[in-house]
Homo-oligomer: A and B are copies of this chain.
Amino acid sequence: MELYLERGFGQTTVAQIAERAGVTERTFFRYFTDKREMLFDGSERLQQLMVDAVAGSPADATPLDSIGTALDAVGSVFVDLTRSRTRQVIIDSDESLQERELIKRDRLATAITGALRDRGVEEPVASLAAQTGIGVFHVAFASWIAPGNTLGYAEIARNLLAELRIVTNGS
């Protein structure tokens, strides 16, 4: 991330990263499938947390309730505000990184859809709830790292979900 900030993502070579990390280029590619993936390291963990939260939500919870527990569950991941901000600056500066971010979000939504379906939620409600949930998640994250914000991620997510409930009026 230091290097990406100094020279930009596109101008940074894997050889440089490897050198700074004190390993070989070959070793870098054993840890990350490609140059971009490095910036999305925690994404499987994030996905697992949300899926587990949905799976573990109360039996009588509505789909949107389940989404709520998932949004809560990932609070532990988003703690280092500065790091998240720099990371986002880098991603926003490079189109191929945005592509990667979008597919991560997409996979996340698909995984949550599956978790909801496993609880007996039918289509298209499962997909709809999952998509909406990821949408809220995204907006919450963006608000959290927005300049001037002082609230914590969990709080923001809860507020947004409450607002969404009002807009959609129930359920």
Interface of A is mostly: helix
Q: Does A85 contact B (CB under 8 A)?
A: no
The CA of A99 and the CA of B37, in the complex, are separated in Å by 13
The CA of A106 and the CA of B92, in the complex, are separated in Å by 14
Number of contacting residues on A, CB 8 A? 9
Q: Does A135 contact B (CB under 8 A)?
A: yes
A99 to B, closest residue via Cβ: B99
Encoded as 1 (CB less than 8 Å from any B CB) or 0, chain A from 140 to 159 comes to 00000000000000000000
Q: Does A131 contact B (CB under 8 A)?
A: yes
Residues of A that sit less than 8 Å from B by CB: 95, 98-100, 102-103, 106, 131, 135
